[in-house]
């Protein structure tokens, strides 16, 4: 497999390491004097392969974790804090201040996305821009939500003024594949709804958060956003054990989510907002348009090297078209361009986890030993930081690549005669996020759509699986998710309906009129935000 030998453009070269010695707690950027962990990129800066040192981050523990929790609890102040009681329009001003400051850091963050997680330049730019857009859309959606709440209802002689209120303290943990976008898709709605937060960046894609520390400090009241660095088990576990966290917001894998939930002593207090693993299938029917299908399956299986929870992780192709599909698909996979993230037209890029090529090799060896073969010439070729996607066929259910969420470049293919085969597999699966269905005949598609919609949460017709556009609901059944994220739904996931109720009588009506005239309550208000 050819390595990228292109020179690194000047603007993307690593000239200084970032030795991150600060963390944000209680509105203060505190100085860290303890142990640090070095951060390496698997991308080499020299001709001879060598991981590149990017910098270091604090290796924090229980003391700092509990300090951050105290700061978040004080900022919430049993519901009396400045932030949870603040007028919606003032919270929006803080968020708008933050997003303006964030925009100034685009170039720095995009460069770190490429080095830290190996995401291509266009995809890194897209991740940044999509996140900014997500924040701006969230602000508009919150205004809309607030406008809808600026009224009273009356049923059976009882008036109600219903709003959505914060839940309390949110512990927020994001994934390495979208260290900015997915983390902010949790953090931003949690903050804007009036919660106070503790946030720990993912293991890879951590330095890219550091340019934003000051923006967080300067945009929100103290203690609303607290940012820690270190290992999840060292900082997240002690926070959960206190039982004082109200929401665990995590995008990652179900093992970490389960381990953290179990630490919390009061399970009914803890609300979960989780985006977990998936094994989204592509189902290719005999009448599928193969040109389009192959392009979509390539995008679904190989975008960001398959390191997406929404990636297509298993492909079911009908017996009648399997030979043609495998042949054309394999050739197209081998024609993809591998290189460093800034190389023009690059589709496959270095894997950020040093152990990933070896893990993918294990899946490959296991499948080969159990009867699969590699369909494409380059499948399984190694370099120091990559393994070429192997198209594996025929895959059977006893293979690890069928059972595990590979989250990397390897493509298991099964063929079927009867559509009940993939449907049964999906019903048995622990996952239920999305499916891609390829075909044309409406009488075949109709009952399938009806069934698939009950097995997963998004049926993609002749299209690869994806999360976006972010206005659409992103969720899953079974082990794939809890709660729903989208610009609209996330505001609801991080809040609860709470209201002022009063019986219709002269005293109450007069009192409420006076309360509204006085304009002193931020909750009880019929003011509109335009």
Count of residues that interact with ligand G3H, criterion CB under 6 A: 9
**475 near ligand G3H, rule: CB under 6 A:** no
Rounded least distance, CB 466 to ligand G3H, Å: 4
Closest contact distance (angstroms) between CB of 256 and ligand G3H is 15
Our finding on whether 347 is near ligand G3H (CB under 6 A) is no
User: Smallest distance from the beta carbon of 110 to ligand G3H, in angstroms?
Assistant: 17
CB 236 within 8 A of CB 209: no
User: Which CB atom, from 309 or from 457, has the smaller least distance to ligand G3H?
Assistant: 309
Which one, 83 or 178, has the nearer CB to ligand G3H?
178
CA-to-CA separations, 448 to 27, 285, 300, 459, 461, in angstroms, rounded: 53, 11, 20, 10, 11
467 binds ligand G3H (CB under 6 A): yes
Query: Is position 308 an interface residue for ligand G3H (rule: CB under 6 A)?
Result: yes
CB closer to ligand G3H out of 36 and 466: 466
CB of 177 vs ligand G3H, minimal distance in Å: 5
Could you give the CA distance from residue 336 to residue 295 in angstroms, rounded to a whole number?
Answer: 12
Considering beta carbons, is residue 56 or 131 the nearer one to ligand G3H?
131
**Mask of contacts with ligand G3H, 72-91, x by CB under 6 A?**
--------------------
> Which range touches ligand G3H (CB under 6 A), out of 260-268, 345-353, 460-468, 508-516?
460-468
CB of 298 to ligand G3H, least distance (A): 14
- Inter-axis angle of helices 181-192 and 88-103, nearest 10: 150
CB nearer to ligand G3H: give 263 or 434. Answer: 434
**Which residues make beta-bridge pairs with 53?**
40
Residue among 484 and 522 whose Cβ is closer to ligand G3H? 484
Q: How far is the CB of 435 from ligand G3H (least distance, A)?
A: 14
Helix (H) or strand (E) holding 46: none
If 0-12 CB within 10 Å is exposed, 13-18 middle and 19+ buried, where does residue 93 land? middle
* Residue 353 CB neighbours (<10 A): 18
Return the residue of 440, 468, 510, 521 that touches ligand G3H, per CB under 6 A: 468
Minimum gap (Å) between residue 306 Cβ and ligand G3H: 10
Binding string, residues 159-188; x marks residues near ligand G3H by CB under 6 A: ------------------xx---x------
Residues found in the chain: 530
Helix 322-334 and helix 290-302: axis angle, to 10°?
Answer: 50
**CA-CA distance, 306 to 24, in Å (whole number)?**
33
Could you tell me the two tokens for 108? Answer: 């720095």
Of residues 309, 360, 426, 491, which one binds ligand G3H by CB under 6 A? 309
Contacts of 276 (CB under 8 A, 6+ apart): 251, 252, 253, 254, 257, 309, 476, 479, 480, 481
Whether 429 and 275 have beta carbons less than 8 Å apart is answered as: no
C-alpha closest to that of 69 among 157, 181, 200: 200
Give yes or no for residue 466 binding ligand G3H (CB under 6 A): yes
Of the listed pieces 19-27, 199-207, 257-265, 462-470, which binds ligand G3H according to CB under 6 A?
462-470
Cα–Cα distances in Å, from 15 out to 12, 18, 53, 54, 435? 9, 10, 11, 9, 44
204 binds ligand G3H (CB under 6 A): no
Cβ of residue 527: shortest distance to ligand G3H, in angstroms? 36
Q: Of these, 183, 210, 310, 460, which contacts ligand G3H (CB under 6 A)?
A: 310
Tokens of 150: 């600026």
Using the contact rule CB under 6 A, the part of the chain among 41-49, 196-204, 209-217, 466-474 near ligand G3H is 466-474
Q: Do strands 280-284 and 434-438 pair parallel, antiparallel, or not at all (unpaired)?
A: parallel
Half-sphere exposure of 443 (CA within 13 A, CB side): 0
Q: Which two tokens stand for residue 380?
A: 């399984």
Residues that bind ligand G3H (CB under 6 A): 177-178, 182, 308-310, 466-468
């Amino acid at each position: 497999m050819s390595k990228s030998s292109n020179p690194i453009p000047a603007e993307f070269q690593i000239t200084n390491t970032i030795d991150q010695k600060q963390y944000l707690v209680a509105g203060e950027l505190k100085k860290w004097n303890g142990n640090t962990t070095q951060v390496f990129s698997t991308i080499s800066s020299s001709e001879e392969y060598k991981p590149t040192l990017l910098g270091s981050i604090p290796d924090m523990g229980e003391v700092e974790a509990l300090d951050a929790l105290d700061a978040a609890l004080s900022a919430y102040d049993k519901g009396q804090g400045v932030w949870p009681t603040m007028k919606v329009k003032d919270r929006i001003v803080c968020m708008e201040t933050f997003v303006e400051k964030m925009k100034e850091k685009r170039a720095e963050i995009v460069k770190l996305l490429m080095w830290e997680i190996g995401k291509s330049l266009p995809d890194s730019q897209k991740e940044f821009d999509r996140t900014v857009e997500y924040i701006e859309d969230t602000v508009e959606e919150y205004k809309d939500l607030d406008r809808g709440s600026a009224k009273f209802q009356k049923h059976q002689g009882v008036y109600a003024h219903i709003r959505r209120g914060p839940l309390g303290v949110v512990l927020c943990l994001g994934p390495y594949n979208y260290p900015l976008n997915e983390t902010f898709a949790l953090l931003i709605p949690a903050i804007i709804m009036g919660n106070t937060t503790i946030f720990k960046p993912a293991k890879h894609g951590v330095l890219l958060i550091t340019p934003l520390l000051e923006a967080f400090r300067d945009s929100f009241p103290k203690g609303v956003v607290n940012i820690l660095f270190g290992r999840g088990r060292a900082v997240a576990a002690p926070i959960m054990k206190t039982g004082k966290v109200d929401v665990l917001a995590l995008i990652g894998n179900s093992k970490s989510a389960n381990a953290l939930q179990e630490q919390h002593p009061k399970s009914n207090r803890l609300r979960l907002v989780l985006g977990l693993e998936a094994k989204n299938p592509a189902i290719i029917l005999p009448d599928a348009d193969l040109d389009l299908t192959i392009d979509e399956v390539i995008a679904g299986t190989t975008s960001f090297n398959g390191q997406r929870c929404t990636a297509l992780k298993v492909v079911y192709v009908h017996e009648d078209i399997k030979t043609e599909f495998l042949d054309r698909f394999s050739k197209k996979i081998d024609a993809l361009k591998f290189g460093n993230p800034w190389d023009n037209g690059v589709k496959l890029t270095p894997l950020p986890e040093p152990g990933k090529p070896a893990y993918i090799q294990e899946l490959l060896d296991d499948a080969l030993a159990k009867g699969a073969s590699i369909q494409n010439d380059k499948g399984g070729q190694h370099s120091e930081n990559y393994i070429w996607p192997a198209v594996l066929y025929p895959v059977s259910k006893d293979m690890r690549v069928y059972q595990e969420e590979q989250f990397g470049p390897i493509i298991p293919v099964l063929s079927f005669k009867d559509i009940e085969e993939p449907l049964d597999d999906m019903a048995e699966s622990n996952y239920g996020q999305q499916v891609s269905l390829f075909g044309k005949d409406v009488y075949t598609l109709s009952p399938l759509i009806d069934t698939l919609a009950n097995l997963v949460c998004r049926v993609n017709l002749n299209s690869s699986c994806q999360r976006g556009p972010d206005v659409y609901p992103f969720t899953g059944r079974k082990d794939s998710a809890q709660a729903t994220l989208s610009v609209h739904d996330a505001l609801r996931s991080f809040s609860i309906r709470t209201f002022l109720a009063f019986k219709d009588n002269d005293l109450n009506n007069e009192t409420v009129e006076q309360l509204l005239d006085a304009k002193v309550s931020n909750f009880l208000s019929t003011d509109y935000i335009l």
